[in-house]
Amino acid sequence: MSDFLEYHIVDLECPSCGAATPKTIRWIRAHRVYTCKGCSATVSLDSEELRRRIRSLEDLALRMGL
Ligand SMILES: [Zn+2]
Dist. CA 65 → ligand 1 center (Å): 36
Cβ atoms within 10 Å of 34's Cβ, excluding its own: 17
Predicted model pTM: 0.84
36-55 pLDDT per residue, tens? 999 999 999 999 999 999 99
pLDDT higher than threshold 90 for residue 29: yes
Report the alpha-carbon distance of residue 45 to residue 63 in Å, rounded: 26
Residue 58's CB is within 10 A of a number of other CB atoms, namely 16
Please tell me the distance between residue 11's alpha carbon and the centre of ligand 1 in angstroms: 13
Domain-by-domain residue ranges, the chain?
3-64
